[in-house]
Amino acid sequence: MADVYSKKVMEHFYHPKNTGEMKKPDAVGEVGNPVCGDVMKLYIKVKDGKIADIRFQTMGCAAAIATSSMVTELAKGKTLLEAKKITRQDVADALSGLPPIKMHCSNLSAAALHAAIDNYLMDNEKKASKKKE
Amino acid sequence: MPEIYMDHAATSPLSEEVLAAMKPYFSRKFGNASSLHAFGRGAKEALDASRQQVASALGCLPEEIVFTSGGTESDNLAIKGACLANRHKGNHIITSKIEHPAVLATCKYLEKQGFSVTYLPVTSDGFVRQQAVEAAITDKTILITIMHANNEIGTVQPISKIGEIAKERGALFHTDAVQTVGKIKTDVNELGVGMLSLSAHKFCGPKGVGALFVKKGVRLEPLLHGGEHERQMRSGTENVAGIVGLAHALALSQMGMEKEATRQMKLRDRLIEGVLSSIPESRLHGSRENRLPNNANFGFKYIEGEGLLLMLDSKGVAASTGSACSSTKLEPSHVLLALGLPPEDAHGSLRLTLGKSNTENQVERLLRVLPPIINKLRKMSPMRAGVTWNGKEEGHG
């Protein structure tokens, strides 16, 4: 099994970065479906338009956990605009590739990141329009 | 770190004694059993003796044993062979939803060829109900195929009861006994079967060799045509070394079988009791009483099996999971789903299957390393009691 995955994937699976629930996040992104066995929750804290802190919780196979860990590493410190450009391919590449069957179901992390950023921007818009009223 | 192998349902180590018995047939005694000269006669004698050994283990006649390349071929030969030979009598097959893929995929194939198949549901413990078999039988039923014990959850089916029904209604009855031969009693007369599949590497024999018991008078259409070996049911020069290994391993497993089963059962029960008492929101899959002496299968909520498997592997424990992500398919185990488990719960399963090498110390070690791993994975998981998930579905395009 371990042979199926790159060394990088196994590193991030055994020692994932930025795991656990975040207290008072600025936004959360949730993707996946428990029925399929892969779900991910990603928390962000934003400061000056940049991702100041990021954490994740994932239920899924080794690939799902490794991609979650990797996306938090890739996004940390980036501006929201830069972070939104991170694709699932970027995540896979940073892990030296994923088995083809894991490219989709288990590679949710970029989508979770985008969802968190979208939620953050939407919340801000709402707050801004409330201020105008 | 000592390696602990608890995946004997996948395969078991070839015993040294068996290897020694096989060796001459790779070299010195290399003859083709069909040849009339001394080399051929030597091979033929080994083949005959092996057939006799297997027959006495199963309680049948030597000529009722057909050697094959393994469990999958035995299942294919039994099912396709019987259906093709009996299609003038009917076109209906009865099986269960929890059969091994070698049976299920063969039945699916036959459906494409115009046969109709009833896939019987099972109880939450994994039992095929006799009443369900009775209700499914029609005048067109030519074959019933129900596994002796399930490879994932270890539930042992009431085969002899189903055999009585089959006999009464004149349907041929096959059982896939790949997980039971060498572990519990598999006398074909007691079971009341017309055909029985077995595979050598599950009982410390070599891979690539198996056998099918075919009761006298049962006609099968062969899958392999050629030199008409194995009473015309399986052409191809016999794998003499493999067959010698199969017979030898089977004979060894018969000696002291009850004692070894009792020993493994004790280890299994300790595993079950230890896991269920130390890990919250864990459950046992399969029957508590009627299960293989060497099988324990657990479900752990909120986690996925592949990660569990890899973390156990990193601690020197080899186990298995019915989780979707552990293999090339994306559906969770068809067996666990058939038990009525919701798919989200079927992902976090762990199968531990014991063998001769496993000791009490190893079981205790497993019980020490498992809880922290479950804990770690659960801490990483967004799922827990009371959480309803409403995340966007992504990535399933």
Per-residue pLDDT tens digits of chain B, which is 397 residues long: 569 999 999 999 999 999 999 999 999 999 999 999 999 999 999 999 999 999 999 999 999 999 999 999 999 999 999 999 999 999 999 999 999 999 999 999 999 999 999 999 999 999 999 999 999 999 999 999 999 999 999 999 999 999 999 999 999 999 999 999 999 999 999 999 999 999 999 999 999 999 999 999 999 999 999 999 999 999 999 999 999 999 999 999 999 999 999 999 999 999 999 999 999 999 999 999 999 999 999 999 999 999 999 999 999 999 998 765 555 556 789 999 999 999 888 989 999 999 999 999 999 999 999 999 999 999 999 998 877 776 665 544 3
What is the distance between the alpha carbons of residues B143 and B163, in angstroms, rounded to a whole number? 11
Most B CBs within 10 A among A36, A72, A89, hence the mutation to make, goes to A36
A-chain residue closest to B304, CA distance: A60
3-state secondary structure (DSSP) of residue B173 = strand
- Model pLDDT for residues A30-66, shown as the tens digit of each residue: 998 887 778 999 999 999 999 999 999 999 989 999 9
Chain B positions contacting chain A at CB under 8 Å are 302-304, 306-307, 309-311, 313-314, 323-326, 328, 330, 332, 342-344, 347, 379-383, 389-397
Report CA torsion sign: B321, B343, B129, B193.
negative
The contacts of residue B359 (CB under 8 Å, 6+ apart) are B267
Cα–Cα distances (Å) from A26 to A53, B179, B250, in that order, read 10, 54, 65
The reply to whether residue A61 touches residue B323, judged by beta carbons under 8 angstroms, is yes
Enumerate the residues of chain A whose CB falls inside 8 A of the CB of residue B379.
19-20
**Torsional class of B59: left (φ above 0), alpha (ψ -120 to 50), beta (otherwise):** left
Q: What is the DSSP letter of B331?
A: S
Identify all chain A residues contacting B390, using CB atoms and an 8 Å cutoff: 30
- Tens of pLDDT along B9-62? 999 999 999 999 999 999 999 999 999 999 999 999 999 999 999 999 999 999
All domains in chain B, ordered by first residue? 16-254 (3.40.640.10), 257-380 (3.90.1150.10)
Burial of residue A122 (CB within 10 Å: 0-12, 13-18, 19+) is exposed
Q: Tell me if chain B has a CB within 8 Å of the CB of A6.
A: no
Taking the CA of residue B360 as centre, how many other CA atoms within 13 Å lie in the half-sphere pointing to its CB?
2
Q: Provide the 8-state DSSP code for B109.
A: H
Q: What does the angle CA B246 – CA B250 – CA B256 come to, to the nearest 5 degrees? A: 160
What letter does residue B50 receive in the DSSP assignment?
H
Contact B310 A31 (CB under 8 A): no
B394 vs B392: CA distance, rounded Å? 6
Question: Looking at the DSSP assignment, which residues form a beta bridge with residue B31?
Answer: none
Q: Is A61 a catalytic residue?
A: no
The structure's pTM equals 0.93
Across the interface, of B307, B330, B394, the residue whose CB is closest to A65 is: B307
Contact at 8 Å (CB) between B95 and B145? yes
Residue whose structure tokens are 């050697």: B67
Give B322's contacts in chain A (Cβ within 8 Å).
Answer: none
Please name the member of B323, B379, B392 whose beta carbon is closest to the beta carbon of A20: B379
The C-alpha atoms of residue B131 and residue A122 are separated, in whole angstroms, by 59
In three state form, how does the secondary structure of chain A look?
Answer: CHHHCCHHHHHHHHCCCCECCCCCCCEEEEEEEHHHCEEEEEEEEEECCEEEEEEEEEECCHHHHHHHHHHHHHHCCCEHHHHHCCCHHHHHHHCCCCCHHHCCCCCCHHHHHHHHHHHHHHHHHHHHHHHHC
ipTM associated with this complex: 0.91
Which residue in the block uniquely carries the two structure tokens 């209906």?
B92
CB count, 10 Å around CB of B145?
27
Residue A83: both structure tokens together: 């972070």
B313, B323, B390: residue with CB nearest A37: B323
* Residue-range domains of chain A with CATH: 2-127 (3.90.1010.10)
Task: Count A/B contacts: CB-CB distance under 8 Å.
Answer: 120
Interface test with A, best of B325, B327, B329 (most A CBs within 10 A): B325
- By C-alpha distance, which of B8, B67, B68, B2 is closest to B204? B8
